[in-house]
Amino acid sequence: MVILKKAIVLVPLMMLLASSAAQSRQTRLPSIPTGMVEIAQGEYAPLYKSPDGEDSIAVSAFLIDADPVTNQNFLDFVIQNPKWSKSQVSRIFADETYLRHWASDTDIGDAFPTSPVTNISWFAAKAYAKWKGNRLPSVAEWEYVAGAGLHSPDGKSEDGFTTHILNLTNRVTPNTPFLVGLTKPNYWGVRDLHGLVWEWTSDFNSALITGESRADANLERKLYCGSGVVGASDFTDYAAFMRFAFRGSLKAAYSGANLGFRTARSL
């Protein structure tokens, strides 16, 4: 009797799932690689914009990894591309701390295979993405995806979203980064954008932060943040300020214990 009840519930549910999967396969062409999700086109309001810049940037539809790249993923890459191993990488492309949490070139040591890979440079992340047939997401793409709440593309419309993101961002780094994929996916089906690791973007340093946050108002470089304090679109989005400050502190060869990445692909 109990089994029968379950079956009655399950069968229509499975039918429903099968039909929706079939439907999405029809609409999403070409097929989406495993582990990536499709992000519909939309608009991103930049935190910093140039004086004559638009209030929002159009983001075309694209694919992005649902989870950050893991140690295991990156190990596969390094094994096939030994020039990106710890011992062989050029100092121009990665600094001294590159993959320092790994035991050797091809042994991740005590790191968890499914923890996000960290201690990788922008060059290395870019090379990995290319190897996968992908690219790094732009700041606009990344922020657009990360701005989604659990139920809508605009997280700020959901109660407590800003505070929640700030709390996640403000956590002290654990000695071992948590595993990927354990947190709730956001509206797009993307996980761990906040609070696990920072993530490289293709144009990480295009919003110009000098380090003297109060003086950024005086910079007059049209391509960059331009007017800092005046130019910031939302003074209350502290988590975003933290992300932009972090990106601003980086150079492409830097690697850090809190810095990982995920890849994207144009449609």
Partner 1 sequence: MTNFLSRLSRGLAIILFFGTSLILSGCQSNEIKGEEQALLTYAPAVPAAITRNHPTKVIIELETTEVVKRLADGVDYTFWTFGGEVPGKFIRVREGDLVEFHLNNHPDSKMPHNIDLHAVTGPGGGAASSFTAPGKGTTFSFTALNPGLYVYHCATAPVGMHVANGMYGLILVEPKEGLEPVDKEFYVMQSEFYTQGAYGDAGLQPFDMEKALLETPDYVVFNGSVGSTTGDKAITANVGDRIRLYVGNGGPNLVSSFHVIGEIFDLVYTEGGSIANENVQTTLVPAGGSAIVEFTVDVPGTFIIVDHSIFRAFNKGALAMISVEGDANDAVYSGLQDESVYLPEGGAIQNIAGAAPAAQIAETIEERIAAGERIYSSNCAACHQPEGQGIAGVFPPLAGSDYLLSDPDRAIHVVVNGLEGEIEVNGETYNGVMPGVRLSDEDVANVLTFVLNAWGNEGGEVIPSHVTRARSTH
Contacting residues toward partner 1, per CB under 8 A: 97, 162-163, 166-167, 169-173, 175, 198, 209-216, 236, 238, 241-242, 244-246, 248-251, 254-259
DSSP state of 70: B
Please state the closest distance from residue 34 (CB atom) to partner 1, in A.
Answer: 31
Please state the closest distance from residue 138 (CB atom) to partner 1, in A.
Answer: 21
Q: Which two tokens stand for residue 44?
A: 């991103």
Our CB check for partner 1 shows the closer of 7 and 172 to be 172
Please state the closest distance from residue 209 (CB atom) to partner 1, in A.
Answer: 7
Our CB check for partner 1 shows the closer of 188 and 260 to be 260
Per-position DSSP letters for 143-202, written without gaps between them: HHHHT--SSSS-GGGSTTHHHHHHHHHTSPPPSSPPPTT-SPP-TTS----SSS-EE--T
Return the number of other C-beta atoms located less than 10 Å from residue 38's C-beta: 16
Our CB check for partner 1 shows the closer of 134 and 255 to be 255
Please state the closest distance from residue 240 (CB atom) to partner 1, in A.
Answer: 9
What length does the chain have?
A: 267
Our CB check for partner 1 shows the closer of 24 and 170 to be 170
